[in-house]
Amino acid sequence: MTKKGTIILETFDSKSLRNNPLCDPSIREFPVYLPPSYYSSKKNYPVAYFLSGFSGVGQMHLNVSFLSENIHQRLDRLTASGKMKEMIVVLPDCMTRYGGSQFINSLGTGNYEDYIVKELVPYIDKNYRTIASNSKRAVCGKSSGGYGAAVLAMRNPDVFGLMCSTAGDMSFEYCYQPDFPKFITDIEHYGKGDKAIKHFIKHEINFKQPKPKYFFNILNSIAMASCYSPDPGGFKTKGYNFDLPFDVETGEPNTAIFSKWLKHDPVRMVDKYEKNLRKLKLIYLDAGVNDEFNLHIGARIFCDKLKKKKIKYVHEEFNAGHMNISYRYDRTFEMISKHC
Amino acid sequence: MTKKGTIILETFDSKSLRNNPLCDPSIREFPVYLPPSYYSSKKNYPVAYFLSGFSGVGQMHLNVSFLSENIHQRLDRLTASGKMKEMIVVLPDCMTRYGGSQFINSLGTGNYEDYIVKELVPYIDKNYRTIASNSKRAVCGKSSGGYGAAVLAMRNPDVFGLMCSTAGDMSFEYCYQPDFPKFITDIEHYGKGDKAIKHFIKHEINFKQPKPKYFFNILNSIAMASCYSPDPGGFKTKGYNFDLPFDVETGEPNTAIFSKWLKHDPVRMVDKYEKNLRKLKLIYLDAGVNDEFNLHIGARIFCDKLKKKKIKYVHEEFNAGHMNISYRYDRTFEMISKHC
Amino acid sequence: MTKKGTIILETFDSKSLRNNPLCDPSIREFPVYLPPSYYSSKKNYPVAYFLSGFSGVGQMHLNVSFLSENIHQRLDRLTASGKMKEMIVVLPDCMTRYGGSQFINSLGTGNYEDYIVKELVPYIDKNYRTIASNSKRAVCGKSSGGYGAAVLAMRNPDVFGLMCSTAGDMSFEYCYQPDFPKFITDIEHYGKGDKAIKHFIKHEINFKQPKPKYFFNILNSIAMASCYSPDPGGFKTKGYNFDLPFDVETGEPNTAIFSKWLKHDPVRMVDKYEKNLRKLKLIYLDAGVNDEFNLHIGARIFCDKLKKKKIKYVHEEFNAGHMNISYRYDRTFEMISKHC
Amino acid sequence: MTKKGTIILETFDSKSLRNNPLCDPSIREFPVYLPPSYYSSKKNYPVAYFLSGFSGVGQMHLNVSFLSENIHQRLDRLTASGKMKEMIVVLPDCMTRYGGSQFINSLGTGNYEDYIVKELVPYIDKNYRTIASNSKRAVCGKSSGGYGAAVLAMRNPDVFGLMCSTAGDMSFEYCYQPDFPKFITDIEHYGKGDKAIKHFIKHEINFKQPKPKYFFNILNSIAMASCYSPDPGGFKTKGYNFDLPFDVETGEPNTAIFSKWLKHDPVRMVDKYEKNLRKLKLIYLDAGVNDEFNLHIGARIFCDKLKKKKIKYVHEEFNAGHMNISYRYDRTFEMISKHC
């Protein structure tokens, strides 16, 4: 029988997240995967930080389901097959009340970039036998996790030397803007304008079921606004702490606010972080050619910008949409293994 | 038994459309509805120009189907019920090779605004007992027809004094831009970049069936580009006579081209045509609150701009999407009847 | 330029349909297509009777639409290309209040089989230069029209010597029974049990728009019941003149009633009409492999029964569902042309 | 802070499941929920056996997800709120290679009824402080779990005195038969007839991803056939150990086989188990009025049969379909609490 890796459920109290604006807990539990040989060797291992998509946290990747591996099973299989080097995989919890932090520092949600870069990485390096070097430290993920991977690596190449972004949020006019008119329509189930948003935030983001199908459409725009265009004083003035990139009643685009979002758009960050991008040992992007959020287009644009700057990258497309593509994680771990 | 109106099938050879860039016919057939009393009276009547949606022409409104009125049956019923004044209704053909002209003059398609304003209106006034005054002449339609109604009235208030726009194309970042990344994905069924577009235009826009479901997605962007951002010399240089508002291979937005589109966006034309809008006797907009192309949002933005300028309008929303809403024509003809 | 065929719009007052139980008109208009050479020759021509699907009548096949031929254009093209022999094509109107007669005699709807076989065929033979022989007379259609073609030919091989059935209703447990539980759910929008059905029939089958999306689900089961399990006295006792093959409130299957339906199921009629089937010059069935009503399975079962009896047939499947398959009519007319 | 219940992960080696025909493990892990007071009291508690739906096992109910409780959180909340009595909840694993056992004994899958009734119940009563009486022992579940609840209670009223069935499989012509023609279509992706089924069973039921969307359609019919119409010798003769209720190539219904299925249809078991049903303290059925598998119709028919026999039951319908209805478990535990 194949030797298996071990899952450690870590608990960590973050200084970065203390007193965050959404009163989310600073203590977070998250799984750490240790490779099969970990306890029988004295080796040090590369580390991959695996970021979850919107509405996800690391622990959910341990959920069991029929005919579909969880991350523990997947990593064991990949390691056993030789496709993947033995490595430590960290699955952080960067959840917020609104469903996600995009792994960045924001006055609307908290300092999640700091949490990962300044706290988790040192903590893991201290407590586990890692190879504590950017050339052996990867960041990866899908969807919002793919966004986080791209942005964290671009901004912290000395921390993360390898980056794998699967269907990561980018090219915001294509992946987010189509939701804005839907938001206008959907939020009216809860009232008019600011009041409706206030009501939604106060009374709808909870465990009460069933949720209407438009619930996540609304929540996603709220979460992104809290990350990209926070309005820290907003709780007092209008009942919520962010600005939306459109008029809340008519839907008219607010380009001033949207330009704040665009500063966080990976395809628009390439110029600013060009130097950093050149430092990375691995830039890997993939996406399904039918991605419902057009993230394959985002990846193309991102890669095209790298190409024009002659920065090396690997770009793949596969025959799928945005959902049910966890099988693509195989490629992520193969790519990391090849380059670390 | 109720007396019925008469349909005349007119044939008209247009000077405006002669030698149009797409080699579409200059001779067009179109139906004219004459009200029940027309032949038994000597009265003159108001006239409504009823513009078809994308891929439609006036004659299609005479198609028969089960439990659904065609325009002839509808106008007879509305007239008989007293909800509608007796009036003449003209159903033009402004079709192009690409599925529609948006009823404007374009170097990419031809001079369809001239065709209607300078040729059809005088022709109808000359050949039928109309009340030849803008206060008795309406323009109306749904979808692209609603766009045409809005634009023709804004630009020609001395011709059309009443305008009814049902789910008219407006707020282009919401109604058109979401299609752009799909275009990139879809056109690749035919090859790469310009070659794929050239192939599509040459070999796919024809009567061959079946068409794949993405056919109309592609065609719609092509048609709009031919109206809003024509490139008259393009046939020679790249095989098609328009510019697309995005890079054909990566999908990266081309804001220079898209700004050409935006000049034709009704919500952005309000400022320029403010004086004209004030001349109109009726500005009526309606849209379904679940319009798949977000045209209810467009209508809200349009009306909000009028409101801020204190220009009178009537704005209605109804509980439906974009399709199967011909029952809303009842409201159009009621509104015209009230105001003409 | 290619010579074109002519459409004659016939009006015919049927004795068979007089005093039919649904008070549908006995006078029907229907198109007759005469081939290009008809008026310049003295030839006699084969005839194809082309039956419409549920909710359709012959005239609808003349509707015009963008990039899609109507029957006139199609027949002209097929004839010009040589794929189709010159022939007369008759497009009857066998509509009922409930949306269709299935082209059979029923105490619930009227004698539509008689109408076609005993009235239309002689009328056409008398008034047009036909070759009045079963070997030159075909019956064809799609969906309910394909059902009609199969049943009329099976029962009247001396009238129709050729039969083409595209996605014809058959194997009723697969094509109709899945709708029964939906009916139970849907009809409750109008009340409970018999009262709901009575209400629906009295107040909902009309031109009022919009219709809810479940409208046609309900109507289809009503129409089929009126054809297959009529209850002529039912108007008085329960408000509608048919029996449903399930309990109207619980949905429990009523096998006694359903067995009446099954007597009309083509796959179950093969045994009874074996002799007649052997007389046919052409038995052609086709269906899309993703037919939403499982009619490709029905066609397979039908053909398998013929195979076991060593009756000749042609069976084709194509890559499509049930809708938008009018391009398959090309095959129908090719097959008829080969065999007549 | 509310006191919380405890989850025990049990491991149990079943004699009933040893040497089962699908070589599934006889050792199963499953969670047991102990109520908050369990360890601080000496009380004995009622027990509910909570059966999973198709493709599910007890452990999956512990999966975590965003804004949606798992069973642990749900039971804690319900208990804390007083809506639910403190009770022990057992979440068995009755999975098979094909995705589920329907909780019955079958020569095709194994003796899952025996496993629960003869092994698990005594084991739980022996190892936990239960009230070991049928009047305090409930069986419940959703979908296939709701089927299992109905059938286990009907057949073992001296073991389970209370039964709650949410959207349980019943009225098989409505819930299963519509899948049969789809099966025929779908299985052809793997070849023809028996060979395709053999291939599917051997090579497709595994962790390889992605699975096509029709995968579960196929698997469901296979699983049900293995439960309802097993063919123990079939592995040798045709490569799989069950009979399908239709011809594998044409799809023609095989009524002899389907009648074997119908013997397991709860709505048809009511007559046989009438005496047992009278013994039950609680018969509770609920289903969503838009259940995609028509299970609300099944529940109606089941309840109607009870009504006619004057057997007491509670029947509820709610405004939903078949998916995302775990919020209905609240009602299940409330009902059990009221009656035990």
pLDDT in tens, A147-156: 999 999 999 9
| Residues 6 or more apart whose Cβ sits within 8 Å of residue A10 | A29, A30, A31, A32
Give the burial class of C133: count Cβ atoms within 10 A of its Cβ; 0-12 exposed, 13-18 middle, 19 or more buried. middle
pLDDT surpasses 80 at A31: yes
Q: What is the ipTM of this complex?
A: 0.95
User: What is the pLDDT, as a whole number, of residue A229?
Assistant: 98
* C232 prior amide bond cis, ω within 30: no
Calpha distance C207→B76 (Å, rounded): 13
Give residue-wise pLDDT tens across range D229-267.
999 999 999 999 999 999 999 999 999 999 999 999 999
* B253 prior amide bond cis, ω within 30: no
Contact C291, C321 (CB under 8 A): yes
Give residue-wise pLDDT tens across range D7-39.
999 999 999 999 999 999 999 999 999 999 999
Q: Give contacts of C247 with chain D, Cβ < 8 Å.
A: 301, 304
Contact D140, D184 (CB under 8 A): no
Pick A67's closest partner by Cβ from D68, D69, D206.
D206
Give residue-wise pLDDT tens across range B111-147.
999 999 999 999 999 999 999 999 999 999 999 999 9
D180·C171 Cβ contact <8 A: no
Dump the DSSP string for A112-178: HHHIIIIIIHHHHHHHS-B--SGGGEEEEEETHHHHHHHHHHHH-TTT--EEEEES----HHHHTTT
User: What is the pLDDT, as a whole number, of residue B2?
Assistant: 61
Query: Would the CA dihedral through B198, B202, B205, B208 be positive or negative?
Result: negative
**Total number of residues shown for chain C:** 340
What mean pLDDT, rounded, does chain B reach? 97
User: What is the pLDDT, as a whole number, of residue D2?
Assistant: 61
D209·A324 Cβ contact <8 A: yes
C64·B65 Cβ contact <8 A: no
Region of residue B311 (phi > 0: left; psi between -120 and 50: alpha; otherwise: beta): beta
Contact C309, C151 (CB under 8 A): no
Q: D296: closest CA among D309, D305, D287?
A: D287
- How close is the nearest chain B Cα to the Cα of C145, in Å? 15
- How close is the nearest chain A Cα to the Cα of B7, in Å? 40
Calpha distance C228→C242 (Å, rounded): 8
Q: Give contacts of B325 with chain C, Cβ < 8 Å.
A: 210
User: What is the pLDDT, as a whole number, of residue D1?
Assistant: 47
Q: State both tokens at C214.
A: 């479940």
Contact D339, D281 (CB under 8 A): yes
Pick C60's closest partner by Cβ from B65, B206, B209.
B65
What mean pLDDT, rounded, does chain C reach? 97
* Partner B contacted by A322 (CB < 8 A): no
User: What is the pLDDT, as a whole number, of residue C2?
Assistant: 62
Q: In this structure, what DSSP letter does residue C58 have? A: G
pLDDT band, residue A2 (cuts 50/70/90): low
- How close is the nearest chain D Cα to the Cα of C134, in Å? 31
Give residue-wise pLDDT tens across range D191-210.
999 999 999 999 999 999 99
Determine phi and psi for D302, rounding to 5 degrees.
-55, -50
Give residue-wise pLDDT tens across range A48-88.
999 999 999 999 999 999 999 999 999 999 999 999 999 99
List the subunits that have 3+ CB pairs under 8 angstroms with C: B, D
Dump the DSSP string for B4-19: --EEEEEEEE-STTTT
D185·C297 Cβ contact <8 A: yes
Give residue-wise pLDDT tens across range B263-318.
999 999 999 999 999 999 999 999 999 999 999 999 999 999 999 999 999 999 99
What mean pLDDT, rounded, does chain D reach? 97
- How close is the nearest chain C Cα to the Cα of B12, in Å? 19
Q: Give contacts of C251 with chain D, Cβ < 8 Å.
A: 171, 174, 294, 297, 300-301
| Residues 6 or more apart whose Cβ sits within 8 Å of residue A138 | A46, A47, A48, A49, A160, A161, A162, A163, A164, A282, A336, A340
Q: State both tokens at B191.
A: 């090859």
- Chain B residues 46-65 with a CB less than 8 Å from chain C: 55-57, 59-60, 63-65
C84-121 burial: b if 16+ Cβ within 10 Å, else e: bbbbbbbbbbbbbbbbbbbbbbbbbbbbbbbbbbbbbb
Give residue-wise pLDDT tens across range D135-169.
999 999 999 999 999 999 999 999 999 999 999 99
- The model's pTM: 0.96
- How close is the nearest chain B Cα to the Cα of C321, in Å? 11
User: What is the pLDDT, as a whole number, of residue B3?
Assistant: 84
- B and D make contact (3+ CB pairs below 8 Å): no
Q: Which residue of B has its CA nearest to C93?
A: B66
pLDDT surpasses 60 at B93: yes
Average pLDDT over residues C16-45: 98
Q: Where are the alpha helices (DSSP H) in D178-239?
A: 179-187, 193-203, 215-228, 234-237
Contact C110, C101 (CB under 8 A): yes
Q: B102: closest CA among B220, B244, B245?
A: B220
Average pLDDT over residues D303-320: 98
Pick B67's closest partner by Cβ from C65, C73, C207.
C207
Q: Which residue of B has its CA nearest to C323?
A: B210
- C and A make contact (3+ CB pairs below 8 Å): no
A63·D66 Cβ contact <8 A: no
Average pLDDT over residues B4-19: 97
D297·C249 Cβ contact <8 A: no
Q: Which residue of B has its CA nearest to A182?
A: B294
* Partner A contacted by D211 (CB < 8 A): yes
- A and D make contact (3+ CB pairs below 8 Å): yes
Q: How far does Cα D182 stand from its chain's mean position?
A: 23
Q: Which residue of A has its CA nearest to B289?
A: A185
Q: Coil, strand, or helix at residue D7?
A: strand
Q: Give contacts of D205 with chain A, Cβ < 8 Å.
A: 67
* Partner B contacted by C99 (CB < 8 A): yes
User: What is the pLDDT, as a whole number, of residue A85?
Assistant: 98
Q: Give contacts of D267 with chain C, Cβ < 8 Å.
A: 252
Pick D56's closest partner by Cβ from A66, A207, A326.
A66
- How close is the nearest chain D Cα to the Cα of A327, in Å? 6
Q: What's the Cα-to-Cα distance from B332 to each of B157, B283, B302, B336, rounded to whole Å? A: 18, 11, 18, 6
Q: Which residue of B has its CA nearest to A252?
A: B301
Calpha distance B2→D228 (Å, rounded): 64
Give residue-wise pLDDT tens across range B181-231.
999 999 999 999 999 999 999 999 999 999 999 999 999 999 999 999 999
Q: State both tokens at B194.
A: 């310009």
pLDDT surpasses 80 at A1: no
Q: Coil, strand, or helix at residue A295?
A: helix
Calpha distance A137→C66 (Å, rounded): 57
* Partner C contacted by D215 (CB < 8 A): no
**Total number of residues shown for chain D:** 340
- Number of C-beta neighbours around residue D27 at 10 A: 11
* Partner C contacted by B213 (CB < 8 A): no
* Partner B contacted by A214 (CB < 8 A): no
CA angle D108, D111, D112 (to 5 degrees): 110
Contact A284, A314 (CB under 8 A): yes
Q: D149: closest CA among D251, D82, D53?
A: D53
Pick D252's closest partner by Cβ from C181, C249, C304.
C304
Give residue-wise pLDDT tens across range A199-229.
999 999 999 999 999 999 999 999 999 999 9
**Pairs of residues, one from chain A and one from chain B, whose beta carbons lie less than 8 Å apart:** 73
pLDDT band, residue D3 (cuts 50/70/90): confident
Q: Give contacts of A177 with chain B, Cβ < 8 Å.
A: 173-174, 177-178
Give residue-wise pLDDT tens across range A249-288.
999 999 999 999 999 999 999 999 999 999 999 999 999 9
Q: Give contacts of A267 with chain B, Cβ < 8 Å.
A: 252
Pick D300's closest partner by Cβ from C177, C251, C289.
C251
